[in-house]
Amino acid sequence: MTIEYPVKLPPLENGDRLTRDEFERRYAAMPHLKKAELIEGIVYVASPLRYRSHSQPHLFLITWLGTYCAATPGVEAADAPTIRLDGDNEPQPDAILRLSHGGRSRITADDYIEGAPELVVEIAASSAAYDLHDKLKVYRRNGVQEYLVWCTYDRQIYWFSLEAGEYQPLTADAEGMIRSRQFPGLWLAPEALLAHDLGRVLQVLQQGIATPEHQAFVARQQR
């Protein structure tokens, strides 16, 4: 009599080189693991998250995006979704905004995002993090239209817009606001965000939501 033992999958480890299918199999076998990503075929497993350098900034950005989403039918926000971008890349960004209809991404039968959301948001320790290097290249190549990175140790916010296949920085205007090109009315007060002044961040956002440009965008999404 032959005894067959169940095949035990190896755990995900930083630096593993895997196909996307193998990455998903191993990730699914580790339900305790909260975040792992496949970037250019290489596995990155997240470290425990610190409070002021990641968890609190994460909440601020989710609140900002969620508030915009609540006022903008046809736009969906998500917190740390896994995204199937291509055969070598399955990131899990801190947050995204996407168009629910007519956008570049879709929700698969097994409830993943496939394709490029219109806006991807990441929190990084510093500009040395892979968010501003390998992941930036992956998002650009896959057509993510806007990419925002908050480097909490460097106290810098980088917001890029895809123009003719290259990321160009979106910078603050004379009033100190950065305004999305993909999502009219999505305004950000970067200095207030860096100061953890969520009240001011939401006040500026409400100003953007009240503009005719946002109203027109909502009308287009509801057609």
Q: How confident is the model at residue 5 (pLDDT cuts 50, 70, 90)?
A: very low
Residue 29 lies in a domain: no
Residue 198 lies in a domain: yes
Residue 116 lies in a domain: yes
The tokens describing 8, both together, are 């035990």
pLDDT given for residue 126 in this prediction: 82
pLDDT given for residue 111 in this prediction: 96
Its pTM stands at: 0.92
Distance CA 33, CA 24 (A): 12
CATH of the domain at 160: 3.90.1570.10
Distance CA 15, CA 61 (A): 29
The whole domain housing 64 covers 50-221
Residue 6 lies in a domain: no
Give the total number of structural domains in the chain: 1
Residue 25 lies in a domain: no
For the chain, the maximum distance between any two Cα atoms, rounded to a whole number of angstroms, is: 79
Distances (CA, A) of 155 to 81, 152, 219: 25, 5, 37
pLDDT tens digits, residue range 125-161? Answer: 887 788 999 999 999 999 999 999 999 999 999 999 9
The CB density around residue 42, as the number of other CB atoms within 10 Å, is 17
pLDDT tens digits, residue range 163-214? Answer: 999 999 999 999 999 999 999 999 999 999 999 999 999 999 999 999 999 9
